[in-house]
Structure 1
């Protein structure tokens, strides 16, 4: 449900702009033709081993695409809205609640916390010669306000808590297995901080990171419920 004061068209426009921004940011970070990147990431797994890239190219881009589809059908093909919404909206809401919000909030918080402490642990100085500063911000800064804009303009229905947490756990296990495989196959850690920690230190770091994402899941759930419950009371 879009924000009544702005209307469905305003929410649809914002979703479309967010989708265009996500596609543009992904194309630049992926090193596509005419990308502003000075050289591609040719190491094992490329950008696909970084949570920041997966968050934007897989999660946020898919979310905004689903939002655009739902909005377009609702505005231009109302006779099909019920049928399409029954398929698209539950998937859209699950992706937002279980993946986009907790991971999208974790990425900038974790990145900038490590960056301030010691940037070499997460974004070595040499990367400044590869990516312009603004391109770094597309992956680690702008995703945060876009996340809260989405929370504000669209009433996402959260799944049953156990199902939502299970979805987040599944993603975490798959991603952890992937970066472990990358290290096993190439000796490369997706993030330098993992390379300077002992095995016990890595286990603790990964466990704390996952715990933070679970906490962020509850933050998104509570913010959504309180914000939209308050608006619904005002409309009655």
Structure 2
């Protein structure tokens, strides 16, 4: 099982590293791309998510290798496993699913609001799918192939909310500093529209967090000893 995890995570990590590298190469070569404006490509949630997924699978691979070489009771393994589970629960799964669903929903309605047609001549179609499509099957495979113990709902949601608030602040700072909106759809919304858009986006991400937790428990069980068992052990 450990060997299977290593192969799986090595493949996922290699794919994400390649996708990030290609993203950097393609967007750097074209000066008209938004990556060459204020904030660079770091203002795009898609790129941030891709970097996050890369880091996550890197942590997964390191965790697999340490578990193979060291005792599972090793403190380093335990801390890394908790970090891996927290990243998956609070960020990698809900954010990956959100990027997929939000991008393709808006794209289907009016692609100019999120991915103008002129980008087709800059970003290859396969790279577009690498950023916005393949993230979904990867996190789903991860969920069903590898067990993850979710943190307490309060802590997990707190991490997601902090990330969302930080990104929202960053988006508004970019607009304040450079008078540009990260996505064309934001330029077409008034204040109320933006509040509804950002509020609904946060609620959707929180929903995906709960879906990930539910699917994990459906596949692996709760993964936590009951209070009654804890009391027996303490006695």
**TM-score, normalized by length of structure 1?**
0.89
**1:30 matches 2:46:** no
Partner of 2:178: 186
User: Within 5 A, what are the aligned runs for 1:111-122?
Assistant: 111-122=103-114
Query: 2:221 aligns to what SS in structure 1?
Result: helix
Q: Which runs of 4+ in 1 moved over 6 A?
A: none
Which residue, 166, 170, 173 being the options, matches 1:174?
166
Work out the CA distance in 2 between the residues paired with 1:147 and 1:127: 26
Partner of 1:70: 63
Mark the runs of 5 or more structure 1 residues left unpaired by the alignment.
1-6, 232-236
Mark the runs of 5 or more structure 2 residues left unpaired by the alignment.
224-235
Query: 1:30 aligns to what SS in structure 2?
Result: helix
**1:130 matches 2:122:** yes
Q: RMSD value over aligned CA atoms?
A: 1.7
Change (3 A) 1:80 1:224: closer
Whether the 8 Å contact between 1:121 and 1:191 is mirrored in structure 2 is yes
Partner of 2:53: 60
Q: CA deviation at 1:152?
A: 1.1
Whether the 8 Å contact between 1:182 and 1:189 is mirrored in structure 2 is yes
Whether the 8 Å contact between 2:72 and 2:78 is mirrored in structure 1 is no
Q: How far does the alpha carbon of each residue in 1:139-165 deviate from its partner, in whole angstroms, 9 at most, with x for none?
A: 000000001011011111101101111
Partner of 1:217: 209
**1:153 matches 2:175:** no
Partner of 1:13: 7
Q: CA deviation at 1:132?
A: 0.5
Number of paired residues?
220
